[in-house]
Amino acid sequence: MTTAAVGARRIDVGKLLPQLIAPVAALVIAAAISSIALLISDKDPLTAFQHMYEFGTQPDQKVEILNKASELYIAAVAVAFGFKMGLFNIGVEGQSKVAAFFAGALASASFMDWMPGGLRIVLIVVVAMIVGAAWASIAALLKTQRGVSEVISTLMLNAIGGLVVTWLLNDHWGVTEPGAQIKTTGILPEDSWMPGLPIVSGTEQKVLGFFAIAVVLGAAYWFVINRTRFGFDLRATGYNPFAAVASGVNAKRMVITAMLISGAVAGLVNLPRMLGESHTYTEGFGGIGFTGIAVALLGRNHPIGMALGAILWGFLASSQIILDLDGIPKEIILIMQGVTVLSVVIAYELAARIGRRAQQRRVGVATAAAAPAAAEVVEESK
Amino acid sequence: MKVLAAAAVAIVALGSMAACGDDKGDTPGTASSGATKKSVKVGLAFDIGGRGDKSFNDSAATGLDRVKSELNLEVKDLAAVAGESENDKYARLKLLCTTGYNPVIAVGFVYDGADAKNGPLARAAKDCPNTKFAIVDGGTTADNVADLVFAEEQGSFLVGAAAALKSKTGTVGFIGGCQVDLIKKFEAGFTAGAKAAKADVKVLTNYLSTPAEACKGFNDPAGGKTAATGMYDQKADIIYAAAGGSGTGVFEAAKAKNALAIGVDSDQYNTVTDASLKTVIMTSMLKRVDNAVFNFVKDFGEDKFKAGPTVFDLKTDGVGYSTSGGQVDDIKDKLDKFKADIVAGTITVPTK
Amino acid sequence: MTADPPAVELKGITKRFPGVVANSDVNLTVRKGTIHAIVGENGAGKSTLMKILYGMQPPDEGEILIEGNPVKFSSPQGAIGAGIGMVHQHFMLADNFTVTENVVLGAEKLHGIGTQAKAKITEISQRYGLGVEPDTLVEDLGVGDRQRVEILKVLYRGARILILDEPTAVLVPQEVDELFGNLRELIREGLTVLFISHKLDEVRGVADDITVIRRGTTVASVKPDQVTARQLATLMVGSELPSPEARESTVTDVPVLVVRGLTVRGPDGRPIVDDATFTIHKGEVVGIAGVEGNGQAELAEAIIGMRDSAGTVELDGVAIAGWDTRRRREAGLGYIPEDRHRQGLLLDAPLWENRILGHQTEPPNAKGFLINVGGARRDTTRIVAEYDVRTPSIDVAAVALSGGNQQKLIVGREMSHQPKVLIAAHPTRGVDVGAQAAIWDHIRNARIAGMGVLLISADLDELIGLSDALKVIYGGRLVADADPSTVTPEQLGVAMTGATGEETPS
């Protein structure tokens, strides 16, 4: 009985099904609550949703949704690397700012003029990852050496990082391009603008080139988490830190490694726009790191789930423009985003419990049926 | 449990973005007024803050409202969202031009983007070559884009002179909403004017925020009040509040300390909500964004669209000072003399 | 038997959880003024039955009669109102409160919180010979005293029928005797005691009647003087009871684990493990006996490398004291942790991932820096079969398994890497008799193959039965040695309380 069943089913439908229903249910709830808000403000929800859909499926908007999704996805992966082991890197925002700023400033510095464009892109990516990791390492060291909660320290470092960047940009390294008024780190030479991807038909617009890197990053994330020893240690720590330590995981080293990886990925967050849209670092950058937390929660730290979450979020964010044109309060979108995150988190939690209970029940049934047989075997062997 | 905590953090982050983004976004007056179709539809995209900031955006809104009522045109205004991308700004402008709005006005230099040659407005102007665009405070150059810029330093010079002339302590103050070049222009003009009127005057300066704090100092009355109270305690008796919505706090501090203040952008003697604060508003530096918007649309209707920069300065009454309340009547002659000198070019007002 | 109705009578009680029948057709008659023991394996349905009686769960079928009257409880309040009291296995006392404060907590309405309450407590204490001082702080009390406070709490609330859930699990033999004395005092005063246990000798010693539960139903009601412990056990398991004893010594003279001067300090600098020195030879099981909290857990954690410690540890001739846990495990230390949920398993992860845990770097789980999913899964399937882990699949989460099956998985996992030394902390705690026997067999077989074992257990029979040498730990020090072939549980119990071997109380 047992041997027949062992190893047969890798996918447990009973456990998986609630997990799949959960986000759908959460979305329905979010839509319902948003509808109530719309009705209160005397707008027809169906028209609003229809306009959102029509607008969002226009080729131009598809491009922007994928652009937004790319940066959100990178931020979500950065957060998820920490979440997987129960480490809360709330500092993706600050890490991404500091990283993009230094990478941008270095890449457009005059002594870099000799560098060919392709190499400069590589330089920007590498420097941003190193700086992001370095900024994150402060929080990691504070946690391992002084026991400071990473939630507090990363939040504080967001503020510090933002101010350091502002100071350097405004008072030292910032330049203003002719015709513009905002300070930048200098427009990159055109040969290091990352080419866009013509993957959406029906528009001249191209998806930011970093979209491809986000896809690769997602695959790498999956591989590291699920197929490497490090990923196992990371997950084990997230499941049960005590058992992980007993299994030989060095908790402090784990915190530092996870934080460095999270910070390095965070360093990439602003690069899609920097390399493909603004071609420089500006103070307009920011906000994605925080939203990445929501996307990681939406996607349950799963590479595919986060991708769907990022696309959903990108869709909602770009819909604000069309709602504004219809005279519908854009706050509806904020309500929808907030409610979606909350209901998804709650729905997943419920689904996990239901799934676990269902599984326990089935194991109970299966082993109860097997038990008398086993008992007889014991009797016979006597 | 920890997951819920993270959700809370994420949502708080969202909420704070919403709070500093747009709490007055909706405009019932302009919503779906498609009953009477007009030939010209005017589109306007606000900077972050939108309608109701009692300052810059509201000034643009006043101009748009005048377009609606006086020129009887269909208008539509869209607000920006905190944390949006340059592409979102581009999408907003493009949405306006592709849905038939012409002309389209972008309010605020954010629509230039970091690289004005490839910024949101430049791209939209390229995609809609037959639409005329205007940008307030901007610098985008294209055949179908007009740049409406202001000589804020000139207006600030006059109110700086007024402050120095009226000060009894010999100390005046400047409070800027955000530490950016645009506001530093106000400070430079104000200081130059004060020194020109009285060489030994002392000018205290303070900025309420930086861009890293999303320039929250433009809408932080409590911060304005604290900063102003500190300055009044340091013997300043007149403070110039170039800080948008935070000006209210400065006025309140002035009232409490029995001192005076100077408003900005609009004639704040008339726009201030609390009538008891009128007496402390000695004058206001006027930045006539409303005139600029109105005249741009008017000129467009009369086929007088002009690409490139149009400077609104003292000469064209694009900037100036207000006299409501009559508190600067006694020095009006001196101020008008300065004004004439600036217009004539005998005084060059610094911008930094 | 004639006029006096039974204190408790259960007729045809059935309780179904979705997919599983926890109790079916349970019949039980508890005579007034007796100690009635309910025995059964873990998971046999004792706890569910007691929850039903205490009003925590309603039965799906059947009838409960209290002193002849049918009752239906919707909450424990109802049960308390009917005179039923429950003494839980885990004490629910606030350490920094006095006895009086603990007792009146939640029952302030009965006698207030002042002198009246104190007088009542003193009265109960004297009447039943509990010897509880109302003004003592609970943190100053020993385990036995705390249990008496729990009993007093229940009596204070007017209980006439007491349910005691595994009351002896936390006690040393001397304390058990005292508890039984108290219980006899209670029934002398006309109270009724329901006593849940799986320690058969104790049950036979104290109970007036015994009811055996197996697989959710009552299989027999017997008098203690009419059955032997082995017969009782046979009733419980449905087959004959395995025992840890009877085997030949496999001890060699090759030391495999040498511990010298091992000292672990607590946060306050005081030693929790104090200068422990011992040697385990190949093929030898060294048992550590001690009342919980005397440093045995810390000793195990120090040897596996989870705690900073001073002193030397040599594994098969190699000094490993400076090594981290992973390196020690790779070098051949196996570890069955005391609390499997806390330290031994990833409850929400599937079984095959739990098989990797602790051996992330070793084949068949790893290939270089990668996890070998196929290898780990195949080997999990093997462990599930060889160690009789009852599960429908290796993809179910560990949390879905019963305690015994979880433990068999852990044992299988550790054994699969042929450890040189196995640190086994309470390897059969909370495990049913069948699984217990299997685990003992596995330890014994590995020992024959030359493995050394450090066995920490609270089950004195297990310690005596499995060990080749015994050491008693008290206050962090190894205070006495005992020979498992001659020592009795009682002698061991005395040593565990800190008295030295020679000064056995007469």
Q: What burial letters (b/e) apply to B271-288, b meaning 16+ CB within 10 Å? A: bbeeeebeebbbbbbbbb
Chains C and B touch (3+ CB pairs under 8 A): no
Domain boundaries along the sequence of chain B? 30-150+292-298+306-311, 153-287+322-344
Residue C237, classed as helix, strand or coil, is helix
Among the partner-chain residues B95, B110, B213, the one whose CB lies closest to the CB of A321 is B95
Inform me whether the C-beta atom of residue A370 falls under 8 Å from chain C C-beta atoms. yes
B76: chain A residues, CB-CB within 8 Å = 325
Q: What is the mean pLDDT of residues B47-69?
A: 82
ipTM: 0.84
Provide, rounded to the nearest whole percent, the portion of chain C with pLDDT above 90: 33
Q: Examine the pLDDT at A2 and tell me if it is beyond 60.
A: no
Q: Which residue has the higher pLDDT, C284 or C293?
A: C284
User: Please, which pLDDT band fits residue B29 given cuts at 50, 70 and 90?
Assistant: very low
Give me the pLDDT at residue C1, please. 45
- State the smallest CA–CA distance between residue B341 and chain A in angstroms: 28
Distant-in-sequence, close-in-space partners of A165: CB < 8 Å, separation ≥ 6: A97, A98, A101, A283, B212
Residue-level pLDDT at C106: 81
Which residues on A lie below 8 Å from C234 (Cβ)? none
Interfacial C residues in 18-37 facing A (CB < 8 Å)? 18-20
Quote the pLDDT of residue C404: 80
pLDDT tens-digit readout, B224-236: 999 999 999 999 9
Dihedral (Cα; B9, B11, B14, B20), 10-degree rounding: -80
Topology agreement, domain C8-237 and domain C255-503: yes
**Is A248 an 8 Å CB contact of chain B?**
no
Identify the band that residue A7 occupies on the pLDDT scale cut at 50, 70 and 90: very low
How far is the C-alpha of C355 from the C-alpha of C378, rounded, in Å?
Answer: 10
Q: Which of A261-275, A284-298, C154-168, C184-198 has the highest mean pLDDT?
A: A261-275
Q: Cβ contact (<8 Å) for C17 and A361?
A: yes
Give the three-state DSSP class for C13.
strand
**Nearest CB neighbour to B14, from listed A88, A280, A334:** A334
Closest chain A residue by Cα to residue B17: A287
Pairs across A and C, CB distance < 8 A: 164
Distance from CA of A347 to the nearest CA of C (A): 17
Residue B54: pLDDT above 80? no
Asked if residue C306 has pLDDT above 90, the reply is yes
- CB proximity under 8 Å: C 307-326 to A: 324-326
Is the minimum CB–CB distance between A194 and chain B shorter than 8 Å? no
Three-state DSSP class for residue C248: coil
Write the pLDDT tens digit of every residue in A146-197.
999 999 999 999 999 988 998 898 778 888 777 777 788 888 998 999 999 9
The string of DSSP letters for B192-205 reads HHHHHH-TT-EEEE
Domain C255-503 belongs in CATH node 3.40.50.300: yes
Residue C370 has what pLDDT? 94
d(CA C150, CA C95): 13
Q: Do A3 and C348 touch (CB under 8 A)?
A: no
Provide the percentage of residues in chain B whose pLDDT is more than 70: 86
Multiple choice CATH, C8-237, 3.40.50.300, 3.20.20.150, 1.10.3720.10, 3.30.1330.10: 3.40.50.300
| Touching chains, B (3+ CB pairs < 8 A) | A
Mean pLDDT (chain A, rounded): 86
What would the pLDDT profile of B89-113 be if each residue is shown by its tens digit? 898 999 999 888 999 999 988 898 8
- Å between A352 CA and nearest CA of chain C: 10
| Better pLDDT: C113 or B232 | B232
pLDDT of residue B140: 87
**pTM of the entire structure?**
0.77
CA–CA distance, A46 with A35 (Å, rounded to integer): 8
Q: Around Cβ C230, how many Cβ atoms within 10 Å?
A: 12
Domain ranges across chain A: 15-34+45-357
Exposure letters B25-39 (e unless 16+ CB within 10 A, then b): bbbeebeeeeeeeee
Question: What are the pLDDT digits (tens) for C68-83?
Answer: 889 888 888 888 888 9
CB within 8 Å: C393 and A249: no
Give me the pLDDT at residue C242, please.
53
| Confidence at residue B204, expressed as pLDDT on a 0 to 100 scale | 94
% of chain C at pLDDT higher than 70: 92
A5 and C392 in contact by Cβ < 8 A? yes
Q: Is C366 on the interface with A (CB under 8 A)?
A: yes
pLDDT at position A8 is: 42
Q: What is the pLDDT of residue C456?
A: 93
pLDDT averaged over chain B?
A: 84
Domain ranges of chain C: 8-237, 255-503
Q: pLDDT band for position B43 (50/70/90)?
A: very high
Average pLDDT of chain C? 85
Pairing, β C192-197 against β C35-39:
parallel
Q: Which of A190, A193, A324 to mutate to test the interface with B (most CBs of B within 10 A)?
A: A324
Interchain pair B18, A331: CB under 8 A: yes
Tally of residues, chain A: 382
Contacting chains of C (3 CB pairs or more, <8 Å) are A
Q: Of all helices (H) and strands (E), which one includes residue C69? A: strand C69-71
DSSP-assigned letter for residue A183:
E
Long-range contacts of C360-367 (CB under 8 A, 24+ apart): C360/A229, C360/A232, C360/A233, C360/A236, C360/A247, C360/A248, C360/A249, C360/C326, C361/A229, C361/A248, C361/C326, C361/C330, C362/C330, C362/C417, C366/A229
**Number of CB atoms found within 10 A of residue C263's CB:** 15
pLDDT average, residue stretch C257-276: 91
Residue A261's pLDDT band, with cuts at 50, 70 and 90, is very high
Q: Is B120 within 8 Å of chain A by CB?
A: no
* CATH class held by domain B30-150+292-298+306-311: alpha beta
Confidence band for B240, pLDDT divided at 50, 70 and 90: very high
State whether B88 and A278 contact (CB < 8 Å). no
**Do the chains contact at C381 and A7, CB–CB below 8 Å?**
yes
Q: Which of B84-88, B160-164, B210-214, C234-238 has the lowest mean pLDDT?
A: B210-214
Q: Could you count the other beta carbons within 10 Å of the beta carbon of residue C90?
A: 10
Residue of B17, B28, B78 with shortest CB distance to A321? B78
| Residue A24 at interface with chain B, using a CB cutoff of 8 Å | no
* Percent of chain B whose predicted confidence (pLDDT) is above 90: 48
Return the CATH number of A15-34+45-357, one of 2.40.128, 1.10.3470, 3.40.50, 1.20.120: 1.10.3470
Contacts of C43 in chain A (CB under 8 A): none
- pLDDT value, residue C214: 79
Q: Which fold has domain B153-287+322-344?
A: Rossmann fold (3.40.50)
Ordered DSSP codes for B5-34: HHHHHHHHHHHHHHHHH-SS---GGGTT-T
- To test the contact with chain A by mutation, choose from B1, B2, B3 the residue with the greatest count of A C-beta atoms within 10 A, namely B3
Name C123's Cβ contacts closer than 8 Å, sequence gap at least 6: none
> Are chains A and B touching, using the cut-off of 8 Å on CB pairs and a minimum of 3 such pairs?
yes
Mutate to test the interface with C, among A232, A361, A382 (most CBs of C within 10 A): A232
